[in-house]
């Protein structure tokens, strides 16, 4: 039998059951007896039947798809979040479909429209800063939604993340406690999360009376280790008195370390360096680099569990879950024994 023409009726006839029973077995196997389920699966495998997701969605009102929209699939931060989602989804009935917005609000809007047209069971998306049109789509969406990576007061539905402002402020306080008095800041990409980290640094530095706008260097370019070297070179040409650098991610922090070593600047005695996210390379560097640890795997797992729990009728105790952060002090800021 040509599997391109096989229908659910063909499977039902071969298995000796109704088409409704086949549909129920494929959509919700727990509602079918083990004997019948085994028979149906054997026929499905033998005939090579592939369910039509569009038809299933039309019949059920929803697919078993959970759409996930992230701004990057190459950034290790989002790779870790996705790993958490896939680990939680393993062996479940839910299928993950991934969309990459590439940090573009217009692309994010297009992906949201595409996903919603396919009647997903739920959506997971990053951040708080959707365009007006995207926000309108999400507010009217007929599915459950979890925002990740940040915490805020007004989620579309549910949210799991942390405060980038508070995390960056805590990193700044760590640099000040280690004895640095002329801190600088470097940032790439300048997406909204990067801007909030800069706001956290600025607020804490101003409070301590050590803020200097001349010690801030930013670029809209994508972050790389090489770019970290370039930004530190720019910073030191503008403000050679700088004695500490808070970097808005770990790629830049590693580049900052390399540039300081190239220039013979001793870390941590002459320069303190702190990254953000605490990727594996921070502990492997020499000296190891202080960084703000964010709980990305847990974020992915919690987002999936919140979403699927809500789909099962189990609402979260709180719609916004703050996972917090941790400033992991290492040798790159151990000027006064703080590392």
Which DSSP helix (H) or strand (E) runs through 66?
A: strand 65-70
Neighbours of 171 (CB within 10 A): 27
CA distance 289 to 257: 8
Q: What is the pLDDT of residues 137-158, one digit of tens each?
A: 999 998 999 999 999 888 999 9
- Nearest CA among 232, 175, 228 for reference residue 201: 175
pLDDT recorded at residue 185: 98
Going across the sheet that includes 183-187, the strands are: 216-218, 183-187, 244-247, 272-277, 290-293, 326-328
Q: What is the pLDDT of residues 227-248, one digit of tens each?
A: 999 999 999 999 999 999 999 9
pLDDT recorded at residue 103: 93
Q: What is the pLDDT of residues 112-121, one digit of tens each?
A: 999 999 999 9
Residue 26's SS3 state is helix
pLDDT 10s per residue in the chain (339 long)? Answer: 444 568 888 898 999 988 878 878 887 787 789 899 999 989 988 888 876 655 554 444 568 999 999 999 888 999 999 999 999 999 899 999 999 999 999 999 999 999 999 999 999 999 999 999 999 999 999 899 999 999 988 899 999 999 999 999 999 999 999 999 999 999 999 999 999 999 999 999 999 999 999 999 999 999 999 999 999 999 999 999 999 999 999 999 999 999 999 999 999 999 999 999 999 999 999 999 999 999 999 999 999 999 999 999 999 999 999 999 999 999 999 986 555
- Hey, what's the torsion of the CAs at 186, 191, 197, 199, to 10 degrees? 100
Question: pTM above 0.75?
Answer: yes
């Amino acid at each position: 039998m040509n599997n391109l023409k096989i229908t659910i009726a063909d499977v039902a006839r071969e298995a000796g059951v109704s088409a409704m029973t086949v549909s129920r077995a494929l959509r919700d196997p727990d509602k079918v007896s083990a004997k019948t389920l085994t028979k149906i699966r054997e026929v499905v495998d033998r005939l090579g039947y592939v369910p039509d997701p569009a038809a299933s969605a039309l019949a059920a009102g929803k697919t078993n798809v959970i759409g996930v929209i992230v701004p990057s699939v190459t950034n290790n931060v989002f790779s870790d979040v996705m790993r958490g989602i896939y680990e939680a989804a393993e062996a479940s009935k839910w299928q993950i479909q991934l969309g990459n917005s590439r940090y573009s609000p217009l692309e994010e809007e297009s992906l949201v429209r595409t996903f919603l047209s396919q009647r997903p069971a739920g959506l997971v998306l990053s951040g708080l800063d959707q365009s007006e049109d995207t926000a309108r789509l999400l507010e009217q969406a007929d599915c459950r939604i979890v925002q990740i990576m940040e915490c805020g007061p007004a989620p579309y539905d549910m949210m799991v993340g942390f405060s980038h402002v508070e995390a960056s402020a805590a990193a700044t306080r760590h640099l000040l406690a280690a004895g640095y008095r002329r801190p600088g800041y470097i940032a790439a990409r300048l997406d909204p999360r990067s801007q909030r980290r800069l706001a956290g640094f600025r607020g804490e530095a101003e409070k301590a009376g050590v803020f200097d706008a001349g010690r801030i260097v930013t670029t809209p370019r994508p972050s790389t280790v090489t770019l970290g070297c370039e930004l530190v070179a720019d910073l030191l040409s503008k403000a050679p008195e700088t004695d500490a650098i808070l970097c808005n991610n770990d790629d830049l922090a590693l580049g900052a370390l390399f540039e300081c070593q190239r220039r013979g600047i001793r870390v941590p005695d002459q320069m303190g360096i702190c990254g953000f996210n605490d990727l594996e390379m921070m502990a492997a560097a020499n000296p190891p680099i202080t960084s703000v640890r964010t709980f990305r795997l847990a974020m992915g797992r919690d987002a999936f569990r919140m979403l699927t729990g809500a789909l099962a009728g189990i609402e979260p105790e709180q719609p916004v879950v703050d996972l917090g952060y941790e400033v992991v002090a290492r040798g790159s800021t151990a000027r006064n024994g703080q590392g």
